[in-house]
Structure 1
Amino acid sequence: MHMQEQFSNRWGIVLASLGMAIGAGNLWRFPRLAGQYGGSFLILWIVFLLIWSIPLLMAEFSIGKKYKLGVIGSYGKIGGKGMTWGGFFITLCTLGIAFYYAIVTGWALQYLGLSTKNLWAFIGGGNTLADELAADPTYLDQYWNSIANNNPWTIVLYIIAVIVGIFVLTKGIQNGLEKANKILIPTLFILLLVITVMALNMENGYKGLEYMFLIDIRHFSNPTIWIEALSQSAWSTGAGWGLIMTISSYSRKSEDVVLNTFIGGFGNNTASLMAGMAILPAVFALAASESEAISYLQSGNQALTFTIIPKLFATVSGGAVLSFIFFFAFFLAAFSSLLPMLELFISNLRDMGITRTSAAIRAAAFCIVFGFPSAYSLNFFNNQDWVWGIGLIVSGLLIIVAVLRYGVSRFKRDYIDSDSDFNVPSKYFAIALIFNVFFGAILIYWWMSQGYSQNPWFNDSGSWNVFDVYSNASIVTQWAMVIIAGILLNKYLYNTFVKNKS
């Protein structure tokens, strides 16, 4: 067995779990969704944490801890010979996200550079971002458009982020991932706390807090908010990614499955709420009017973090400091989540008998090559986010199916309760998993039936609309390619990653 390494103590795996969960989705995606739907979104998001994410994370954590293998091997062990392809899908889904997520890390570095330049100008009396905006109100929009499409520096920076991440991981678990998270995660929480306090102390900042927790029941009839809440919970906590399965494969025998899962899940949601409590109050405090603030938030613009926030921070005294703190936190969050994605790839390669260094180099090469299209084109990035973000629900369903095949009560007794001092009711675990099978399938159908592309299946000429960014045809085609490949390779996958592994 190659996975002899372990985290040195409970805090090592807790920080790794938080590093995996707390990422750009907390500072980039969550505030946008909370801004669109307010308290209605928060309710569903918390419900899905308890119903979807926590049970899935408990299952993943216990499976990884039990088998000490990569995702394909661990899933093959619990799912059986005929289901090994499911681990292949989970792995490819997460790698699909990792390839474009590396670009988000590059964007974070771009904006950290911009905010650093602005802070330096503010201190030295030079030309600040506020001066640039005064001369050209579209400056930030142009800046975002320039870095989001075929920008050489974005390409260079995401490659650097991948290389640095791989360098950390070549040091191993204790000397690499664990030591990095001991610096990244506490620093991230401190920065989030600082920016939250500063935002809430701004004039009218409290209005953003009121808006964030305001419940509008009309939103509940919109299928988008349901799928967004579920995908955000799955995305942000890491449920269904296979990442916690990878991390727990390095856990000590005495690690408490349930306690670690709850710490990770609620720690992640706490970070998301802090990010929302920083950004939404800042929007209300710095917008010209309350209606303008609401308009900003309800636009649902994915560039909210990159265009609105720097603009707002540039308008107040000390905003240069606030902007620097925010984008430093954003980079730390993005980088801390990129590490376990790369480790997932490395752990699967190591199951093939490849050394850690060699596996790390190959993981870097794959991430750089397959991340390039998303760095080159924002449309390609959006398509991959669309396809594999929803694909996490399929990944979660595959994990649930494996547990159900084993037997829910038997699984909880053998995999979870035997290693947990803190237990949850068996009925809660069973009902949640069974409910999720039906609910996940219904949500995917509901989502696709809405037709978020003008031509969800076929284009105007009657051809399969696979190249449309948001088409159902694109989603189904890419999922089908991975599933078919996994099924065709199932025997090889089982023999390579599962058979004779202990």
Structure 2
Amino acid sequence: MAGREQWGTRAGFIMAAIGSAVGLGNIWRFPYVAYENGGGAFFIPYLFALLTAGIPLLIMEFTIGHKYRGSAPLSYARMNRKTEWLGWWQVSISFVISTFYAVIIAWAIAYTYFSINQSWGADTEGFLFGSYLHVADVPGQLGGFVPNVLIPLVLVWAVTLVIMFRGIRRGIELANRIFIPVLFVMFLILVIRAVTLEGAALGLEQFFRPDWEAMRNPSVWLAAYGHIFFSLSVGFAIMITYSSYLSRKSDINNNAFITGFTNSGFELLAGIGVFAAIGFMAFQQGVGVNEVAAGGIGLAFVVFPQIINSFPGMNGLFGVLFFGSLVMAGITSLISIIETYISGIQDKFQVSRTKAVLFGGGLSALVSLIYATHSGLYILDAVDYFINQFGIAFAGLVSVILVSWFLRKLPEFQEHANGVSDMRIGWWWKVCLGIITPIVLGYMFVLNVMQNIQENYEGLSTGFLLSTGIAAAVGVLILGFLLSLIKWKKNIIEAETDSKELEKEAK
């Protein structure tokens, strides 16, 4: 599309892509997933998944955005008119994710403040669920807003929307140029301190000790693929949108490898820091590492406050570093998620960026208020699970199958990517996307369906799940089809793709 904004520099794009990939999950999910699935041995299936699914998918999505020069809906529409719905499906998934992702960042902001004097006290679990979140006794009982959550949530949206209003170069790129280096420095200080704590070696031994028998278990390999898929922000329109702002001769293949390996490097750093700290806590309590290790919200908001309480000195400083890192990582990911539907609205309805941010970002902010109620944690947990397992993963599976099997676009995409890149991709890329990734994602999807048929997620009632998580997962798919039925205000689908422009320049 003529006049489409572009990144100021290649480094700006890479920073933004890394900022999207490096999120909350890198810090609180990867260390525990690795520990639970073979420790040091897990890094082999993890690396295999990165090279056969993660980076190939990054290259595919970078190529789609770069070639078709549009948001996910516009790019898929230019690829084939019948696939526009897929772009809107992915955009709708991003919209839902942004509503609850902002709330977790709000928790991290509150806990950054609590860190100063360890306001959570000795009973960190009771503080989180009782004193802070005021979780309802029964899921579904909203019970009004929780001020301690609502106030930082408003702050999150104020900061985020200001960044979005400023656009690609002066907003998203500038924010990532500031936040990503600060995040790495803050977390590196935390890691260095963690590995010097008494008992840190106990945690690191558990984290890196290889359980070679675990590699024979298919679930370990599925865990590696599942984590890589969610970790790199593929499957829900982000990388397609970001790459559409690249200059026409940007190096796609190298950018994908840099993004993939930098993200993995940060995850390894997070694992070292987290398990060194967990080892310290286990040593202090005289228990095994397995008794204090945890993942997800429990790690960040229950276990880590306990660890900070036990620090031999400067407790407040290291609490601020940890929760401040969560805030930084969260915001850089949130702005990438929001950009998917801001860009989609701009392209489809030909409105200004200001109007797109006001409508898309404003609506997301309003919806997110439901998570600031007394039942917010229950709703967040259900929506997060179903939108990830039956939204992102399923949409990723469908996109790979459509592109590789039905539209047979991989040879064309390979030629485009190689034409602008120093490093060329060959047969391995087509094998990974055409065979390995669809089989693994398909098998994961079937297992998830069977598991949810056998028992309700977390024992929650069927009625509650139908009205929250399942409704979100089904709703985004329906919304994707409905939005694709709306006619484009201008006939921009016929606009020249980037490959045609490159051919003209070559002549």
TM-score normalised over the length of structure 2: 0.87
Q: CA deviation at 1:54?
A: 0.9
Q: Which of 342, 366, 371 is the equivalent residue of 1:369? A: 366
Matches within 5 A, 1:55-94: 55-78=56-79, 80-94=80-94
Residue 258 in structure 1 maps to residue 253 in structure 2: yes
Contact 1:89–1:395 (8 Å) recurs in 2: yes
Q: Which residue of 1 aligns with 2:394?
A: 394
Residue 138 in structure 1 maps to residue 123 in structure 2: yes
More off after superposition, 274-283 vs 476-485: 476-485
Gaps of 5+ in 1: 119-127
Residue 147 in structure 1 maps to residue 142 in structure 2: no
Residue 214 in structure 1 maps to residue 214 in structure 2: no
Q: CA deviation at 1:213?
A: 1.7
Taking a change above 3 Å as real, the CA distance of residues 496 and 340 of structure 1, as seen in their structure-2 partners, is farther
Residue 354 in structure 1 maps to residue 339 in structure 2: no
Q: Which of 151, 157, 161 is the equivalent residue of 1:156? A: 151
More off after superposition, 67-76 vs 37-46: 37-46
Q: CA deviation at 1:318?
A: 2.5
- Alpha-carbon distance in 2 for matches of 1:207, 1:496: 62
Taking a change above 3 Å as real, the CA distance of residues 311 and 2 of structure 1, as seen in their structure-2 partners, is farther
1:293-315 deviation per Cα after TM superposition (whole angstroms, max 9, x unaligned)? 22121x54632111111211221
1:411-469 deviation per Cα after TM superposition (whole angstroms, max 9, x unaligned)? 3333311121112322333334322112211111112323487347x999xxxx35238
Contact 2:62–2:239 (8 Å) recurs in 1: yes
More off after superposition, 26-35 vs 364-373: 26-35
Q: Which residue of 2 aligns with 1:123?
A: none
Contact 1:74–1:498 (8 Å) recurs in 2: no
Q: CA deviation at 1:50?
A: 1.5
Contact 1:65–1:249 (8 Å) recurs in 2: yes
Q: CA deviation at 1:382?
A: 0.5
Gaps of 5+ in 2: 136-144, 497-507
- Alpha-carbon distance in 2 for matches of 1:431, 1:213: 28
Matches within 5 A, 1:99-110: 99-110=99-110
Q: CA deviation at 1:16?
A: 0.6
Taking a change above 3 Å as real, the CA distance of residues 477 and 5 of structure 1, as seen in their structure-2 partners, is closer
Matches within 5 A, 1:276-315: 276-287=271-282, 288-289=284-285, 291-297=287-293, 299-300=294-295, 302-315=297-310
Q: Which residue of 2 aligns with 1:45?
A: 46
TM-score normalised over the length of structure 1: 0.87
Residue 487 in structure 1 maps to residue 481 in structure 2: yes
More off after superposition, 405-414 vs 14-23: 405-414
What secondary structure does 2:332 align onto?
helix
- Alpha-carbon distance in 2 for matches of 1:190, 1:409: 39
Letter in 1 for 2:423: F
Contact 1:163–1:364 (8 Å) recurs in 2: no
Letter in 2 for 1:348: G
Q: Which residue of 2 aligns with 1:125?
A: none
Q: CA deviation at 1:94?
A: 1.8
Taking a change above 3 Å as real, the CA distance of residues 305 and 3 of structure 1, as seen in their structure-2 partners, is farther
Letter in 2 for 1:5: E
Q: Which residue of 1 aligns with 2:10?
A: 10
- Alpha-carbon distance in 2 for matches of 1:46, 1:498: 40
- Alpha-carbon distance in 1 for matches of 2:296, 2:26: 15
Residue 322 in structure 1 maps to residue 318 in structure 2: yes
1:230-263 deviation per Cα after TM superposition (whole angstroms, max 9, x unaligned)? 3321222111121111111111112100111111
Q: CA deviation at 1:488?
A: 4.8
1:203-250 deviation per Cα after TM superposition (whole angstroms, max 9, x unaligned)? 221222221122335545767655543332122211112111111111
Contact 1:93–1:388 (8 Å) recurs in 2: yes
- Alpha-carbon distance in 2 for matches of 1:250, 1:358: 19
- Sequence identity (%): 26
Q: Report the RMSD for the aligned CA atoms in angstroms.
A: 2.7
